[in-house]
Amino acid sequence: MTTDVLIIGAGIIGAACAEALAARGVQVTIIEQDAIGSGATAAGMGHLVVMDDNAAELALSSYSLSLWREFVGTAPGKHEYSRCGTIWVAADDEEMDAARAKGDVLSSHGIECSLLGAAGLYEREPALRPGLAGGLLVSGDGLVYPPKSARIMLERAMANGTQLVMGKVSALLDGGVLLADGRELRAATVVLACGSRSAALLPELPVVPKKGHVAITDRYPGFIRHQLVELGYIKSAHASSGESVAFNLQPRPTGQILIGSSRQFGTEDLSVEPAMMKRMLRHAAGFTPALAGLNLLRCWTGMRAASPDGLPLVGPHPGRPGLWLATGHEGLGITTSLATAHLLASQLLNDRPAIAAEPYLPARFAALASHQNEHGGVQ
């Protein structure tokens, strides 16, 4: 099998990278140990959201959102896409100040948003509890069903010649990979896109799992209309230790309500933890009391791949020639998948990317930059 680039992992990141590279004529082989998009991609909420904790996050997420709107284009139904918008809910005056500040940043970058007072908030979302101060509506945000989108990306890549190999990579080799069944696949370039499992193949990688719980209700069309996120979420979402829950409610196009989310470090156990689920649901019902009366259909967990600075690693490994990284997307990898693929393909093909690649380069981490490959290749 001839291949230019081997991608390990067919989650949304690997699939997006395969699609972008294959569209430019690169011969890609993608390796997946399980079903396509079955990792964090299947567990995530699929919220396509502009995040602005720092300039690099804003650049990556807003550019990616513009790519998503183009990508879902003429077939939004296939992605279960909805341009529902996000309302960042402000509980009090302090959070209203945060909404105003967020609105100023987004507006200054040309992102459509509007500040809502209490009346505007309740007019749009009557299920919210009384007494909230208002919020910020970001109307270009949306949602997709991520495993479907990942499959569409992979199908497009395969239509352009990408080969899919089912198998588990057990080790990185110099110029290729070793599969658990003993097969060796060779390529000059290997892209590691294994999400939260990436460090299992690359021990020096500063990426750790961050567990999240999610639950979904039966169909209640119109219960809410926008993705609702508490502004307090910003405080908890990027903590690098401990446990937290935040109010994050999504109206699925099916009429179901997707309820998130929690954050926990220090575990790789995917079991649903009743105490954490209860805490998350109670918190959500604190914002939308009628939620407590709805039927829950299913709950599950997933692992985000968290990097120390909350930004993904996209680009060459500074100490292992031929090895490239596309991982560490934390809680934003559905949103940022398309921009990640664009950055990776541009760097690999020596094109000028649409946004600066530097903030996401793996070389920013000393653990990688100082890695010396004594054997002269990927081991």
Ligand X SMILES: Cc1cc2nc3c(=O)[nH]c(=O)nc-3n(C[C@H](O)[C@H](O)[C@H](O)COP(=O)(O)OP(=O)(O)OC[C@H]3O[C@@H](n4cnc5c(N)ncnc54)[C@H](O)[C@@H]3O)c2cc1C
Residues in touch with ligand X (CB under 6 A): 8-14, 31-34, 38-41, 43-47, 168-169, 193-197, 201, 212, 214, 260-261, 302-305, 327, 329, 331-335
Closest CA to 326 of 58, 36, 60: 60
Token digits of residue 305:
């791949």
Cβ closer to ligand X: 133 or 165?
Answer: 165
Q: How far is the CB of 8 from ligand X (least distance, A)?
A: 5
Q: How far is the CB of 122 from ligand X (least distance, A)?
A: 25
Cβ closer to ligand X: 11 or 140?
Answer: 11
Q: How far is the CB of 340 from ligand X (least distance, A)?
A: 9
Angle between helices 146-159 and 12-23 (to 10 degrees): 30
Q: Are 40 and 93 in contact (CB under 8 A)?
A: no
Give the position of tokens 């009429």: 255
Q: How far is the CB of 303 from ligand X (least distance, A)?
A: 6
Q: How far is the CB of 342 from ligand X (least distance, A)?
A: 15
Cβ closer to ligand X: 96 or 288?
Answer: 288
Cβ closer to ligand X: 54 or 370?
Answer: 54
Token digits of residue 96:
């209203």
Question: CA–CA distance from 185 to each of 3, 168, 201 (Å)?
Answer: 9, 12, 15
DSSP annotation of 295:
P
Q: Are 212 and 260 in contact (CB under 8 A)?
A: yes
DSSP annotation of 222:
T
Q: Are 157 and 5 in contact (CB under 8 A)?
A: no
Cβ closer to ligand X: 41 or 288?
Answer: 41
DSSP annotation of 240:
S
Cβ closer to ligand X: 96 or 325?
Answer: 325
Q: How far is the CB of 123 from ligand X (least distance, A)?
A: 25
